[in-house]
A and B are shown apart, each in its own frame.
Chain A
Amino acid sequence: MHPTTITVKDAASGAAGLAPRTPAVRVVGAHKSFVRPEGVQTVLQDISIDVAPGEFICLLGASGCGKSTLLNLVAGLDEPTSGRIEVTGGRPALMFQEHALFPWLTAGKNIELVLRLRGVSRPERRARAEELLGLVRLQDAYGKRVHELSGGMRQRVALARALAQDSEVLLMDEPFAALDAITRDVLHEELTRIWQETGVSVLFVTHNVREAVRLAQRVVLLSCRPGRIAREWTIGMPQPRRIEDPTVAELSAEITDQLRKEIRRHGRH
């Protein structure tokens, strides 16, 4: 085997608040408004979040609350109207709900394109692409076209492609929302394992409460119109968790109550 470049960190030490290290992502007082024909719409108001190195945060909120907008700001695809966003370790990797793999390339070449854009040499690209496919357990998919892969396999290739950026931060925008329950469950397990193996910091957006509790060390609830941080929960339960765990269910019920309360506030006017 070629030498692996995946750094293995002790997952337990990845938890937040252990040492005052520079956060991997630092969002300070971010506002975002869009100018529309009907007027100015404030989508995000005074958002501040620190993501510690190696931390796994789930950003939870109803649809249309500005979760994707926030992720785009962190990804550098858009600028905040005011406030600051700092990211260490270069451009963050971003994974979407749609796999966003390029259909004119094979699974392996999709990963190699990322490496090529980073200036990795050709022989190294091939080895690294195969290594990353191995990491998501798709060793045999190197030469497969995107349309030959199932939904779950596509998201795993997309994850491998995101990891190919070798960023310290991985942003995920409802990446498993379109998958069936069994596949999603498997991908939760895989993501947890890969997060533990690589020590990458993850900011994971979802509207699925159980998914958030299943995955995160910290769940941040976003309120709607304008999007503000309503509450947050720290989850000490060790990984791997199961989505059926009674503790997961209990906490999910509590968070769901809060989420519903947030949504109900908007029904009144």
Chain B
Amino acid sequence: MGGTDIRTAKPAGADEELAGLEAGLDSLESVPVSRTPVGQVLRQKVAPPLLGAAFVLVAWQLVHAGGLVSEERLPGPRAVGDSFLTLWRQGTLFEIVWTSLERGLLGFLAALAIGTPLGLVVARVPFVRAALGPVLSGLQSLPSVAWVPAAIMWFGLTDAAMYTVILLGAVPSIAVGLVSGIDQVPPLYLRAGRTIGATGLRGARYIVLPAALPGYTAGLKQGWAFSWRSLMATELIASSPDLGVGLGRYLANSREAIDLPGVFFGILLILAVGVLIDLLVFSPLERRVLRSRGLR
């Protein structure tokens, strides 16, 4: 068998021919990936939200100027701008923002430090999953403001009470995000990992965690939103000179002073800080994770 058509030696240049063929196939099949030009990014990503914001501002001004709603109900953009100038001249604007932002970020980092190992254990240990899974999902849908009275009774009007509420709001999101990220890891990666010797802790570090990153970053993003909301709710309710003036407190103070433009400015600030952190930290993080995998 097999003796009829023996090709003993490779024809000269056969190897080069193969290399050339292969190079041709490679270049035919590869999709050139180019960056989107700046102009297109400006037109498609930056301009629309700016236009949207401008539209809201103009509509607001028109409603205000048209006298449809009385000044006591709806202050105009100018009055709200004056609130900004007042704070700016007092030099307290950054202090107020930073008081809240610092709390929010510290609380979020603490939630990260607790939520990540918790999520890992829930995802990997079946008994813990059965025991804690429903609790975490339940906590995730419970508005964390509900914890404010309890936190105040436990810790008094202190920073500890604030952090408690933040943690109860953000830890479940982060843990659940990581669990769903791990659940979505294709079994093929786990098998490939095992064949190259990534098992146990090494498997978690080199395969499971990086593979779960898309779900995890989604959880982080939601965790930040929950941290920020919880914090604002708590600051609004908990009032004490020891706590300093954060954004929530500023809002409450403005209400007590019957300063509606101040209230509106407070709302705008809270919105701006939440959106800005998402825009500067979490959206780029998520985009990087997805883009590096060719998912977006």
Contacts and interface: CB of A to CB of B under 8 A. Distances in A.
A117 B202 contact: yes
Contacts of B289: 104
B2 A251 contact: yes
A65 to B, nearest CB: 20
B43 interface: no
Contacts of A247: 1-2, 4-5
Given A98-B188, A186-B22, A245 B293 contact: no
Contacts of B189: 100, 102
Interface in B83-131: none
Most buried by A among B26, B206, B210: B26
A96 B192 contact: yes
A103 interface: yes
A147 B294 contact: yes
Contacts of A182: 25
Interface stretch (B29-37, B132-140, B248-256): B29-37
B29 A151 contact: yes
A146 B30 CA distance: 11
Interface string A144-156: 0111111111000
Contact of A91 (B3, B7, B33, B197): B197
Contact of B210 (A94, A104, A152, A186): A104
Which secondary structure dominates chain B's binding surface? Answer: helix
B73 interface: no
A196 to B, nearest CB: 11
Nearest to A182: B25
A114 interface: yes
Contact of A93 (B6, B31, B188, B195): B195
Contacts of A75: 195
A77 B195 CA distance: 7
A150 B8 contact: no
Interface string A219-251: 000000000000001111110110001110001
Contact of B196 (A117, A146, A149, A151): A117
B29 A153 contact: yes
Interface string B1-43: 1111111101000110011011101101111010000000000
Contacts of A251: 1-2
Contact of B195 (A91, A233, A236): A91
B5 A104 contact: no
A235 B2 contact: yes
A190 B22 contact: yes
A198 B18 CA distance: 19
A137 B22 contact: yes
A189 interface: yes
Contact of B211 (A94, A102, A241): A102
A117 B211 CA distance: 17
Nearest to B31: A148
B218 to A, nearest CB: 15
A82 interface: no
Contacts, number: 114
A117 B29 contact: no
Contacts of B25: 150, 152, 182-183, 186
Interface in A180-232: 182-183, 186, 189-190, 193
B32 to A, nearest CB: 9
Contacts of A62: none
B44 interface: no
B213 interface: yes
A137 B31 CA distance: 18
Contacts of B18: 186, 189-190, 193
A252 interface: no
Contact of B292 (A104, A153, A183): A104
B206 A150 contact: no
B293 to A, nearest CB: 4
Nearest to B2: A237
B5 A245 contact: yes
B287 interface: no
A69 interface: no
Contact of A152 (B1, B2, B29): B29
Contacts of A189: 18
Contacts of A105: 210
Contacts of B14: 240
A113 interface: yes
Interface of B: 1-8, 10, 14-15, 18-19, 21-23, 25-26, 28-31, 33, 188-189, 191-192, 194-198, 202, 206-207, 210-211, 213, 289, 292-294
Given A150-B29, A161-B196, 13 more contacts: A75-B195, A77-B194, A93-B195, A96-B191, A102-B211, A114-B196, A137-B22, A153-B30, A186-B25, A190-B18, A190-B22, A233-B1, A247-B4
19 contacts: A91-B197, A94-B192, A100-B192, A102-B211, A117-B197, A117-B206, A137-B22, A145-B294, A146-B294, A148-B31, A148-B294, A153-B30, A165-B196, A182-B25, A186-B22, A193-B15, A235-B2, A236-B2, A240-B10
